[in-house]
Chains A and B, each alone.
Chain A
């Protein structure tokens, strides 16, 4: 594809420019009191957009890393929407990559670890990252382990999911909605009707991919198996619960509760970032996300209403790995440890420069200047959020809430099981193509499930979804047997 080539050479040109600038700065200071050799590290991570003051913040970061590690870091943020694509290209070009952000939902870590993109970290962590290792329990580290080896350092943040509805406060107040009565999806329907009738310019339920998730229906998140199933049986792609869910969505769609363009929107934030959606769905429902939503929905206050108990889903949702092409893996690991233990460095990465991009208010709170030239809104990308200042408006006990949510969340009975897609790659590729075609339209209720769901299932079957289910079952059975032996 000529197109991929263009992207590739473009990146190379831009990145080449960056390295040049960073390198020259690295040598002129040399104010390190450590005996380490000076090195330049490169860190790739995703962001919601480009920050005008990126260079300034990067320089400030280097000032810290130079004194503490005698290293400079070249921060290379990439747009979320193109992160996976660009990283695949960069990885294929074998460029220098010291720290690479990865996760289980974007630029998937397990697949990439298997392809040899990352370095195993077990030894490095033992030798150079004692503090980092001690900062998290075993169950977090499991999030980056594959076949017994560690490939990525989890960022301590919410590791529990609590699928929730997000509702704008102004409408809760206006229509006197009693949020304590909302336990299931269906319970919100009367409210949606009120909005539809009373607010002509407001979308009652804004969405891009509907609100079906296994977590709402007592299905384990790691493997699609009913949590109370005594003989764990892997469920097909289309579950009975999915049928009812899609039917309900179609009903809402025809009643006009759902934004008309839902199926064609790409980014999850497109559902609410115009500020005209009264209710939307958030699968994580993490403590403190009220502030993040307020920052991106046009400034309206929101309230989270959980629809299910919280489930420990592992720390795989945001991690930093060390690249195979890193010339100084031990320094890269030291950088990760520094980010997770140095409050100043961490908050610099998250909030920018004090006085310019944010100001301290009372206690641990800060006032973030959202249009100050550096506004990430992604504390979870960089490191341990327990180090962070709290943005004005978040609950004062946000960090305690997060820790509590993580500690209390139900841990999957299959914790440690990791599906290996190698033998069914062909089927996965084809199933994915089918999903892209049907899932958004069905899940948002845009098309009638009575007619299209059978068609979708038929195509899934032909693409080999049954083969994948069998393979999953086989691996699961083996894993269960091996566990019994232990």
Chain B
């Protein structure tokens, strides 16, 4: 009985969370007539019309390309820095370690609007407004605390004796990091990478602020600007949203095992 109750609750929660997603996937597959029909059509005709027009008329793939460049580079840079910073914070004996970790956390707590002005002016001074690096730089800054914290906590959980063993076996710090720690902390590094990627992929505010030219705009901004003065292309927006979301869903499903798998099992007595 309790079990049934439990599953009913689970189904309700999952359904509610998925509802918006299901709704725009549903909408994206409708025909032009079905989108605006009242009462709403629940089962779409399965037309790919909106995908086609989204790609042809609204240059959907152009935004996808920009998003991939920005989110991909952000992830790469953030993770590389996080690995070095995380290792240092997890392992090396140094002063003010707590302060540094705390400082990182504080940085990530500022509301975006409060730093928007300074960020804009700095980028303007660099001449980086409307450039990929102009968006990647603030994204890296914003995602670093998350990356460093996740990676550092994974490094901390690895048994220290493994590193001692590696050093005795002849590894330097870098070799230890890449030959021993990196493979063992891979689940943590992947988790951090995916979260950073999702953040950069979804981010809207800075993207809107910094990328005023269509040439560099990312998907969220692009989708928002689909709307014209007299037009509201529901179908194309739904199709674009589906295209924006599906890669993330796939990414998480693909790496789910990797994230969950405890690679370090058996290192220490079992």
Tell me whether A and B are bound partners: no
Residues of B within 8 A of A (CB): none
- Interface residues of chain A, those whose CB is within 8 Å of chain B, are none
